[in-house]
Amino acid sequence: MKRWKVYGRRGDYQAVKEGSCWPAFLITPIWALIYRLWGPRLGWVAATLVLVALRGDGAQGSAGHLLSFPVGVGVLVVFLVRGNEWHENALKKRGYVLLRTVAARSEHEALGMVLPRHRRGM
């Protein structure tokens, strides 16, 4: 079972899993756009530009070429580790409040534990 934090604001509810955020790691730009995380999105764009600059002319064995892979993976690991935290902070800035923390198998189940209408499948 995973731990989920359920947030609410004027009839809209969101559940955010505690721990690693694999979508942020695997599909970073799309994930950042879906959750309207402009700061992390801009950070990802900046990191991408730095990596392109590091690669330079792309000559195999150059220092920039050798550094670009570990630096790129490092950037993605930051998103993996901090992604859900950034999502929570964005929700709080938009006026969502923490309703409850629950242990559940899925986001839908977590919402159902907090909101009765989700239990009925509505």
The number of distinct structural domains making up the chain is 1
Q: Give the pLDDT of residue 57.
A: 64
Domain that holds residue 51: 2-119
What is the distance between the alpha carbons of residues 114 and 108, in angstroms, rounded to a whole number? 10
DSSP state of 54: H
Out of 49-53, 79-83, 110-114, which region has the weakest mean confidence (pLDDT)? 49-53
Q: Using one digit for the tens of pLDDT, what is the confidence trace for 65-102?
A: 677 788 889 999 999 999 999 999 999 999 999 999 99
Confidence of residue 50 (pLDDT cuts 50, 70, 90): confident
Report d(CA 103, CA 110) in Å as an integer. Answer: 7
- Helix axis angle, 63-93 relative to 38-55, nearest 10°? 180
